[in-house]
Structure 1
C-alpha cells in the first residue's frame, strides 16, 4: 500500500505542475510577428495605403489649378469675294497664388471689314487680372489646394486609425488562440497522467491491493479530462481559424495557420510588453493629442475653416480689374517705359457685380459655420469617449495584475493541499476520490491562472489601442 501511495503521489505531483513541452522542433508565432504580418500583407492595411495614393492624386489635381494655360483663337470670314477678317490670337495665362493672373499674347488681325476697336496688323500685349474684392484673399483654386494638402495628411491619419483597429482585432484573436493552446496542454498532461494511473490501479486490482471501485473512480477522472481535452483541442483549432482570417501571404492570398504552429513557451513573459506605454497620465495625453481619431477631427476642422473663408468671399462684391500693356509687332515689351501706364498703349477693363440680398452667400457662410460647430462638438464627445476607454482599460489592467498575483497564491495553496492529501493517503487516512478532488481543484486554479494571464496581455494591447498606439 505504501508503494502505491508513493507512485500515486508522483503522478499527482506531475499533474499539478505546469506541463512542459519541447518546442525545439515546433514553429512558434508571437504577437509581434503576427502584427508585422498584418501590417505588411492584410488587404485592409493595403487598402489604407491605396487611400493615401488617392489623396496624393487629388493633391496633384488641385495643383493643376495653378498650371499655366496656353490657348489660341483663330478665325476667318470671307463672303461673296470679300475678305472680312483673318484673326490669329495665341495667349498664355499664368495663375499666381494671390488670385492675380499674368497673361501675355499676340494678335494678328487682317481684313477689309474689321471691327474699328480692333488693332489691325500685328500687336502684342502683357497684362494682369486682379480681383479687388471677392477672391482676393481666398478663391477656389487656393482653397482646393490647401484642402488637398490637409486631406493628404488626413489620409495618413486614417491609415493609422485603420491599422490601430485592425491590429486590435488581430490581437483579440491571437490571445484567444494562445489561451486555448495552453489550456489544451494542461488537460493533455492530465490525460496522460490519469491514463498511467488507470493502468496502475488496474494492475493493483489484479494483485488484490485495490478495490474495484478505485478503478471506476480513476476511469471517471480520466474520461472527464478526455472530454476537456477534446473540447480544448476543438477550441484551439477554431481559434487558429479565426486568427488565420488576419493572416495573408506576400502573394495576396489567405494563409491558413497550420496546427503545428503554436505560441512561444515564454508567452506570459512581462518582457513582451516592456516597450508599452503603461502610465495613465501619458496615455491620456497621447489619446487627447495624437490619437488618429482626434487628429482626424483636427484635420477636418482645418479643412472646414478654409471652406468658411471661401464661403465668406460670396459676401463680397465681384470687382475685377484687367490691364494690358500694348505694343506693335510681336514684342510685348517694345514700347515699355515710353509712357506712363495710363498715358498711352494700354487697355483696361473693370467689372463689378453684387447680389442685392446676398441670400446665397449668407446661407453658404452660415452653413460653413454650423459644420465647424458640429465637428467641434463631435471632437469633444470623441475625446471624452477615448478618455473613458483609456481609464477603463487601465483600471482593468491593474486589477488583472493583482488578480494574477492572488491566483498564483491560490494555485500554490491547492498544490499544498494535493501534497497534504498524498501524505494522508500514504497513512491510510484518505482515498483516490479525495486525491482526485484536490487534483481537480489544482487544475481549475491553473486554468483560471492561464485565463487571467491571456486576458491580462489582451488588455495590455487594448490599452495601447485606446490611446491609438497600435499602428
Structure 2
C-alpha cells in the first residue's frame, strides 16, 4: 500500500481557498468593534462628561432680580438688581458685582434709593474654607476620570483573555478535526486496498472487517470532532463584530493559525511581574483611585464638625461705577458687611457622617490589600501551571514522536506481510490518543500563559 500514512503533524493541511485568521488580527478586531470594548470606552466618556459638569460649579453666573408695585395711582416701589457672580476655588470665595436702581414712595429704608453699584465677596471663614461641596465634586470628578480609564483597561483585559481562550479552543478543535480527517482518508484507502487484496485471494475476509471497523471508528471520531469544531466556531462568533455594530458568523474559509498554536510564549519572571502589578494592574489602580476619592469625601465630612462662620462684604458707590472715587473715604463710609455663625449643639450628624467616611476608607483598604494578595497568587499559580504544562507538552511530544516511529515501522511490516491489521490499528489509535492529549495540553498551556498577563492586568 503505497499511500502517505505518516505525514501527520499538528500543522494541518489548509485548503487552497482558505485564509488564516491570525490571533493578532482577531484580537485587533475584538478591541475595535466588540460591544464590551465600546462600552468600556463609554465609561471614560461618561466620566469626562461628569468632570465637565463638576467644573460647571465654578461657572460665572448673571442674575437679575426686579420688582415693581403700583396701586391706586401710587408708585409704591420699584427695584432692579442685575448681579454678576464669579465662584472661585480659593477658600470657597465668591466674587460678585452688581447694579441697583431703586425708588418709589414706600421703598424699604434699608435699600439705597436711586442708582448705585457694589463690588464684594462671600466666603467661609471656618467650615468650607479648606474644602466645600463644589471643590469636592470637582476633585472627585477628576479622580473618577482617571479611575474610569482603569476600569476600561480592566474590562478590556477580561474581554481579551476570554477572546484569546476562545480562539485557541477553536485552533485546537480545528487541529483535532484535521487529524481525524487525515486518518479517516488513510483508513478508507487502506480498506480499499485490503478489500482488493481479499478479492484477489491475498487477504482473509477478517482483514476486510478489521479495516472497515477502523474506518467506522474514525468516522465517529471525525463526526464528534466536527461537532466540537462547529461549536468552537460559534463560540468565536460571539467576538466577531464589524464597524456597523453588527455581529456575524465566522467565514467558512477562515482557519486558525496552527503554527502559533505550537509555539511557546515568553513569560516574565513572576516576582518581577508582581512588583509591576501595583502600578499597572487596572483593578488595583482603580481601587487606589477610589481611595483618593474617599479621602476627599472624608475631608469634606470633617467640615461638618466645624462651626459655620461666613463673611459677606460689599463696597458701595453711587451711580453705576463702583470704582469711582475709590480710596480711603470709600472704604470708611461706603460699605456693607455681615457675618453668619452657626453650630449644631451635639454635632451628631457630622460625627456620624465623618465616621462613615473613615470606615469606608478602612473597608476599601482591606479590599485593596486582598486584591493585591490575590493577584500575586494568581500570577504565581498561572506561572506554575504554564511551567508544568510546558514540561508535560515536552514529554507528550516525545511520546508522540515515539509512537509515530512505531507506526511507521508497523506499517512497513504490514506492507511486507509481517504484521496484522490489528497491530497496525493499535499503533494508529495510540498515535491519535497521544495527539489528542498533546492538543489538550497545548490549549491549556496557552490559557495559562495568557492567564499570567491577565492576572497582572496587562492584556491590552
Scaled by the length of structure 2, what TM-score is found? Answer: 0.96
Residues 1:326 and 2:316 are matched in the alignment: yes
Residues 1:300 and 2:293 are matched in the alignment: no
Q: For residues 54 and 415 of structure 2, what CA distance do their matches in structure 1 show?
A: 87
Q: For residues 330 and 422 of structure 2, what CA distance do their matches in structure 1 show?
A: 116
Post-superposition shift, 1:219? 0.8
Residue of structure 2 equivalent to 1:167? 160
CA offsets, 1:32-65, max 9 Å, x none? 1111111111111111212221111111110110
Of residues 21, 33, 42, the one that matches 1:29 is 21
- Kindly indicate whether the alpha-carbon contact (under 8 Å) linking 1:315 and 1:362 is maintained by their aligned counterparts in 2: yes
- Kindly indicate whether the alpha-carbon contact (under 8 Å) linking 2:10 and 2:258 is maintained by their aligned counterparts in 1: no
SS at match of 1:87: strand
Post-superposition shift, 1:243? 0.7
- Kindly indicate whether the alpha-carbon contact (under 8 Å) linking 1:19 and 1:189 is maintained by their aligned counterparts in 2: no
Post-superposition shift, 1:250? 1.0
CA change 1:68–1:35 in 2 (3 A) is same
Residue of structure 2 equivalent to 1:266? 259
Residues 1:120 and 2:109 are matched in the alignment: no
Task: Name the count of aligned residue pairs.
Answer: 459
- Kindly indicate whether the alpha-carbon contact (under 8 Å) linking 1:109 and 1:119 is maintained by their aligned counterparts in 2: yes
Q: Which runs of 5+ in 2 are unaligned?
A: none
CA change 1:18–1:203 in 2 (3 A) is farther
Post-superposition shift, 1:417? 2.0
Q: For residues 182 and 351 of structure 2, what CA distance do their matches in structure 1 show?
A: 77
- Kindly indicate whether the alpha-carbon contact (under 8 Å) linking 1:140 and 1:310 is maintained by their aligned counterparts in 2: yes
Q: For residues 469 and 198 of structure 1, what CA distance do their matches in structure 2 show?
A: 53
Of residues 46, 51, 75, the one that matches 1:59 is 51
Residues 1:347 and 2:336 are matched in the alignment: yes
Of residues 434, 437, 460, the one that matches 1:448 is 437
Bigger shift: residues 202-211 or 135-144: 202-211
CA offsets, 1:387-407, max 9 Å, x none? 111111101111111111111
CA offsets, 1:214-233, max 9 Å, x none? 11111111111111111111
- Kindly indicate whether the alpha-carbon contact (under 8 Å) linking 2:240 and 2:248 is maintained by their aligned counterparts in 1: yes
Post-superposition shift, 1:23? 4.7
Scaled by the length of structure 1, what TM-score is found? Answer: 0.94
Post-superposition shift, 1:423? 5.3
Alpha-carbon RMSD: 1.7
Q: For residues 449 and 10 of structure 2, what CA distance do their matches in structure 1 show?
A: 24
- Kindly indicate whether the alpha-carbon contact (under 8 Å) linking 1:134 and 1:318 is maintained by their aligned counterparts in 2: yes
Post-superposition shift, 1:81? 2.4
- Kindly indicate whether the alpha-carbon contact (under 8 Å) linking 1:175 and 1:455 is maintained by their aligned counterparts in 2: no
CA offsets, 1:311-344, max 9 Å, x none? 0110111101111111111001113114273x21
Residues 1:71 and 2:63 are matched in the alignment: yes
Residues 1:438 and 2:431 are matched in the alignment: no
Post-superposition shift, 1:294? 0.3
Q: For residues 11 and 107 of structure 2, what CA distance do their matches in structure 1 show?
A: 103
Of residues 242, 249, 252, the one that matches 1:256 is 249
Bigger shift: residues 167-176 or 309-318: 167-176
Q: Which runs of 5+ in 1 are unaligned?
A: 1-6
SS at match of 1:28: strand
